[in-house]
Structure 1
Amino acid sequence: MVIAGYQLFRYALPFQGSPGQGGRAIRNGLLLCLRSTGGATGWGEAAPLPGFSRENLDQAAAALRAGADRLIGTAWPASPATMRATMAERLPHAVPPSVRFALEQALGEAWAGEHGRSLAHLWREGPAETLALAALVMPDEGGEAGWAGYRAVKVKVGRGTPGEDAARVRQVWERLGRQVGLRLDANRAWDLDDALAFAAALEVGSGVPAVEFIEEPLRDVACLEAFVAGTGLPVALDETLSTLAPEALGRYRKVRALVLKPTLLGGFTAVARWVEAGRRLGMRPVISAAFESGIGMRGLVAAAAALGEAGVPAGLDTYRRLRGDVLTPRPALAGPEVAVAPVLTGTFGLNHRCLTLLHTAGA
């Protein structure tokens, strides 16, 4: 496969209902379309998440254009293992994480088109055919009967008092029929005293089932061990991972799960390293989204099918918060379980109303 040229787009999509992440009304991102000399195309998405990504959109656009320019005329191998190794060697490591995700996704999709495979097959010989998904309950939402089939529900906490958050978690669980596992996400909202107060108000063990995990309960990650010892609640790392190398996970042996967001961590190669390091320590990988559009979601579905753990619901429900999409029709990502192949290899058009062409280069 030889890369002949590319197009770079910017998109703007409104959030559904109330403002989305960080109180913003619009999700902005970048789309890269690579073209091979054989006629294959590959799409990738770079959508820095304000407040969480180190890079902003303008920085990502400059880095993505520079990275795509360097790809024109390059040849890429047919073997999946060699392709992975070549990407790890050739693609620059000093690019922003969202840009690395876009470059790896676009190259992987172009490779898949050239060889009649799916993006997931680049990263695993026998990827999962279906994915379990976790539902996401945002602070402005309550539980709905339509979510009763989910095995896991993620509830955002840390926005009210510890007692108010605990009451809301119990309410959501009651409305969902008491049949779901709870994933709680505090986004580092609490100090240790508030986190302990939340656990006490939740009354784990007296009517509420075991919590699967609580993501990033503490502003000071050094207090995680004290929190686990004082509450018995399992914890997961998310934002902290952006400040660590996978080899440093041994410091956090009380951690139960790793919430892995390719947009924030730097793509498939980086996530594969986190998965391997976490599994050695008994930590479950949970592939998760960061409010990407349908093209980014396609990459996340491939990552979950190839790198995720069987039976562990992926955290891809942020997609529901977007009103409209860059793809038409929208990929089928609603419900507690989705089929992988239609998302990765289905026929989709582009919604040009939300796209702005930034640059074209090559043939």
Structure 2
Amino acid sequence: MSLQLSFSPHTLQFKFDARTSRGAISEHKVYFVKVWDTATPEVYGRGECAPLAGLSLDHRPDLEQKLRQVAELVNNQQVELSVDAELPQELGLQEWPALRFALETALLDLENGGKGLLYDNAFSRGEAGIPINGLVWMGDRDFMQQQIEQKLKDGYTCLKLKIGSLDFTTELELLQRIREVAGADRLTVRVDANGAFPPQEAFKKLERLAKYELHSIEQPIRQGQPKEMAQLCAYTPVPIALDEELIGVREPQAKEALLERIKPQYIILKPTLVGGLAASAEWIRMAEERRMGWWMTSALESNIGLNAIAQFTARYQITLPQGLGTGQLYHNNIPSPLQIRQGELWRGI
């Protein structure tokens, strides 16, 4: 088998300015990676390299240069890719997690016939759905209230609110409105602060949030403050999920050290940010060994990346709603059999 590789850019256009505590984005430039065997060029696998500004290690000016270098190494047979082996060290992908994810998933796709079927499980066969949270984006109060009402109409039993950009009192009022509509027995509510809370204010804010019986809060303080985060996790009235904290932690010993020191209640895995599916599987194993909960989340990829993450997730016994509902954000997403029905992600055949 002699594999070839190509890539092409694609700029995804948001249907609205997607706001987080780090600012608003209206478009997302991604690269689609294609891998095929020269003997059967009509069969090819696709992957997606979709780094996020402000988060991804590989959101940098020389990304396209790196893609070109990888393609040249593969196409000139200087480095051999294989569908049934790990990515070669010679490609130098240690600092390129989104590119690792793209190559990993393209090879899986090719190995399984190149039709977007990466794994054989009930989800990929269209026999079962994956419960997901309905994402409520930051915005003014009316915009967020409108999203909340629509998500409830759409049948979601778990909502996730981005917080940290509005006045905190206003955000508490939104949570109060949600709880007036549905109590914790009917509706699970998660919040994501994206590191917006100053460490000295975080515990008091968590105490106020606890009134609304939240499932969890993602990354209440900025990553890279392990002492402060460990203290919060030890005494928090709201379970804490690490998200950005996992970015750039590659070696197994470093992963174990982080989990042992901070002892979070949950971890959240974005393959684009943590280095692909194999890296995510390693985090999951370590979390489960320590009886920490976890869930998978897409990182604003197109349907190509979302399809891969969802099929990977379905290999596990799913006990919590996953963060896999971002496919509807774009005007120009890639056509896909993925559908959302009553708060679950399904894959048509």
Matched, 1:223 2:228: yes
The question of whether the paired residues in 2 share the 8 Å contact of 1:144 and 1:176 is answered with no
Alignment-derived partner of residue 262 in structure 1: 271
Structure 1 residue 319 displacement after superposition: 2.6
Q: What's the TM-score, normalizing by structure 1?
A: 0.80
Q: Deviations over 1:285-321 (max 9, x none)?
A: 2111111111111121122122x54132210223322
Alignment-derived partner of residue 294 in structure 1: 303
2:51 & 2:94 partners in 1: Cα distance? 16
Counterpart of 1:301 in 2: which secondary structure? helix
The question of whether the paired residues in 1 share the 8 Å contact of 2:226 and 2:262 is answered with no
Change over 3 Å in CA distance of 1:203–1:75 after alignment to 2: closer
Counterpart of 2:119 in 1: which secondary structure? helix
RMSD: 3.0
Alignment-derived partner of residue 190 in structure 1: 197
Q: What's the TM-score, normalizing by structure 2?
A: 0.82
Higher helix share: 1
Paired residue for 2:335, among 328, 336, 340?
328
Structure 1 residue 28 displacement after superposition: 0.9
Q: Deviations over 1:69-128 (max 9, x none)?
A: 333454636xxxxx2x444777644241111011101111111116x8931249x99999
Matched to 2:329, the amino acid is R
The question of whether the paired residues in 2 share the 8 Å contact of 1:7 and 1:33 is answered with yes
1:128 & 1:280 partners in 2: Cα distance? 30
Alignment-derived partner of residue 164 in structure 1: 170
The question of whether the paired residues in 1 share the 8 Å contact of 2:116 and 2:307 is answered with no
Change over 3 Å in CA distance of 1:19–1:184 after alignment to 2: closer
1:186 & 1:86 partners in 2: Cα distance? 35
Counterpart of 1:198 in 2: which secondary structure? helix
Matched, 1:40 2:43: yes
Q: Deviations over 1:41-92 (max 9, x none)?
A: 1111111100101222542222223223333454636xxxxx2x44477764
2:235 & 2:129 partners in 1: Cα distance? 38
Counterpart of 2:206 in 1: which secondary structure? helix
Paired residue for 2:73, among 49, 70, 73?
70
Structure 1 residue 32 displacement after superposition: 0.8
1:76 & 1:230 partners in 2: Cα distance? 47
The question of whether the paired residues in 2 share the 8 Å contact of 1:144 and 1:175 is answered with no
Q: Deviations over 1:10-41 (max 9, x none)?
A: 11121112345531211111111112223321
> Where does 1:94-105 land on structure 2 (aligned, <5 Å)?
94-105=94-105
1:112 & 1:183 partners in 2: Cα distance? 36
Matched to 1:139, the amino acid is M
Unaligned runs of 5+ in 1: 78-82, 347-363
Q: Deviations over 1:211-249 (max 9, x none)?
A: 221111113342224324444211010001014332223
2:72 & 2:342 partners in 1: Cα distance? 39
Change over 3 Å in CA distance of 1:107–1:329 after alignment to 2: closer
Matched, 1:12 2:23: no
Matched residue pairs, number?
327
1:48 & 1:117 partners in 2: Cα distance? 21
Matched to 2:339, the amino acid is A
Name the stretch that deviates more: 316-325 or 254-263: 316-325
Alignment-derived partner of residue 339 in structure 1: 346
Alignment-derived partner of residue 245 in structure 2: 240
Name the stretch that deviates more: 20-29 or 275-284: 20-29
Change over 3 Å in CA distance of 1:61–1:234 after alignment to 2: same
Alignment-derived partner of residue 28 in structure 1: 29
Change over 3 Å in CA distance of 1:20–1:184 after alignment to 2: closer
1:132 & 1:92 partners in 2: Cα distance? 36
Counterpart of 1:311 in 2: which secondary structure? coil
Q: Percent sequence identity over matched residues?
A: 25
Matched to 2:135, the amino acid is L
The question of whether the paired residues in 1 share the 8 Å contact of 2:124 and 2:311 is answered with no
Matched to 1:113, the amino acid is G
Q: Deviations over 1:188-213 (max 9, x none)?
A: 11123422232233352xxx33x221
Structure 1 residue 160 displacement after superposition: 3.0
2:183 & 2:238 partners in 1: Cα distance? 22
Change over 3 Å in CA distance of 1:174–1:43 after alignment to 2: farther
Structure 1 residue 7 displacement after superposition: 2.9
Matched, 1:249 2:258: yes
